[in-house]
Structure 1
């Protein structure tokens, strides 16, 4: 029997990969008659490196995230998705996605874009998608292709 996903989470970060994951998540949510949660996690650790933390930086990041999420919301509605909710969260994206949001919203599928990190970046900071795939207690789908199932440019280079 095929599993039906009722609560799907797609995490977006502004990358082309996350946009493709979002577009696929819209299609999966429509097929499953699911709620789609679109989350953007603002990594507050990035602001800690700024010597004089300015709350305006966090406010600006939130404003940009809201505008981006509004665009995604409009896309979902235009493509016939009835139940789509946008979330802005703060913290380490890896744990917020794999633990907090998954638990808080009873998510049964997480969809993420494949990362474009090189080998050194993966060693130093690790891949969000890799961490989520290992630590989430629900199914995780890593998107490597566009809506037409063609490899994304960064994935072509890896081959």
Structure 2
């Protein structure tokens, strides 16, 4: 059995690569998908496809529609969502993706530092599991594949 795991969260740090490498080292049968990690491409995809927009607002709207389509398709195909909230970046997209996972009844592992417990308490309560680190999330993911005879 292979699971498709949607990795929701900021695209500025290497947390996705860390999860992918550690999952591979553990030989977990998972395929990872997620948002476009190339920030420039994500910001400009609307104009690449639809042509030059009249201003920055229309440019953002065009890109958002295409990025939201990508997220919808990949998240609907996912078996599980892992959403990371870090302390450094604004987390609007992470909150939206985690909420979408809840609305789609997708199993959700929420990663957030203890410092963000209070602002994320309601979302954390809706998640299946809330952890503080990538390593803890991987342990949860590994447990899905653990056999009883261990």
Pick the TM interval, shorter chain. 0.3 to 0.5
Query: Which of 1 and 2 has higher RCO (CA within 8 Å, sep 6+)?
Result: 1
Determine which structure has more spread, i.e. the larger CA radius of gyration: 2
With normalisation by structure 2, the TM-score equals 0.43
